[in-house]
Copies of this chain bind each other. A is one copy, B any other.
Amino acid sequence: MNEEHLLRIQAIAEAALLAAGKPLSLDQLRELFSEQERPARQVMEHVMVLLENACEGRGFELKKVASGYRLQVRQAYAPWVGRLFEDKPQRYSRALLETLALIAYRQPVTRGEIEDIRGVTVSSNIIRTLLEREWVRVVGHRDVPGRPAMYATTRQFLDYFNMTGLDQMPPLSEVRDLEEIGREIEKNIQAEIEFESPAAENDDESPGQTLH
């Protein structure tokens, strides 16, 4: 596979990604070629690296998202490009984002379970918006009375937020249970005491003793 050949595949891949205007998977890109000229997966992967490098310094970049590869505006230029569009980028309410967060981190999850954690009812509007945007979908029904729908996030959700998988979500902050915190406090106190002990005290306890 010579360089000229690779450059040609790269140009065709770029042309196709620009024509599609949406992510294309590696296989979708390979299928643009007839069987005889179809690049192997490894070759195609290599070409994508070449393309990514070839976009350096340009207005757009190659991004890998859940559904495949996408050419998109470089984030640095978004403020200028945004002026093209009359509408300001949509803002999402906290209620919607919290619901989305719960579905993303707790999926599959029912509305009731979301409500338990949020402490308020989840409006049907929010669920509908999330479904309409195709960020979440119903993946089944929990086998409890009422058979409530269980929600999970979709590939479109990942695509929209520039992720290839849920593992790219920002980590959920840890909940430290009370016992653990109790132990921690105890440890801190312990440490403080140890730190102070040799200086202040000179009672007759045996020096070998470290426990107080």
Chain A residues close to B by CB (< 8 Å):
7, 10-21, 24, 28, 31-33, 54, 57-60, 71, 73-74, 77, 80-81, 83-85
Decide if B21 touches A58 in the complex (CB within 8 Å): no
Decide if A83 touches B18 in the complex (CB within 8 Å): no
- A82, B188: Cα distance in complex, Å: 48
Decide if A7 touches B80 in the complex (CB within 8 Å): no
- Chain B contacts for A24, CB-based, 8 A: 84
- Nearest-Cβ distance from residue A52 to partner chain B, whole angstroms: 14
- Nearest-Cβ distance from residue A92 to partner chain B, whole angstroms: 21
- Chain B contacts for A19, CB-based, 8 A: 73, 81, 84-85
- Chain B contacts for A60, CB-based, 8 A: 14-15, 18
Decide if A58 touches B11 in the complex (CB within 8 Å): yes
- A73, B13: Cα distance in complex, Å: 11
Decide if A14 touches B84 in the complex (CB within 8 Å): no
Closest to A51 in B: B59
Which among B13, B18, B28, B57 is the interface contact of A11 at CB below 8 angstroms? B57
Decide if A12 touches B81 in the complex (CB within 8 Å): yes
- Chain B contacts for A18, CB-based, 8 A: 18, 59-60, 71, 73
Closest to A37 in B: B80
Q: A15-B73, A59-B14, A73-B15 are in contact. Are A20 and B84 (CB under 8 A)?
A: yes
- Nearest-Cβ distance from residue A80 to partner chain B, whole angstroms: 4
Which among B14, B20, B77 is the interface contact of A58 at CB below 8 angstroms? B14
- Chain B contacts for A54, CB-based, 8 A: 58
- Nearest-Cβ distance from residue A83 to partner chain B, whole angstroms: 5
- A80, B33: Cα distance in complex, Å: 6
- Chain B contacts for A15, CB-based, 8 A: 59-60, 73-74, 77, 80-81
- Chain B contacts for A32, CB-based, 8 A: 80-81, 83-84
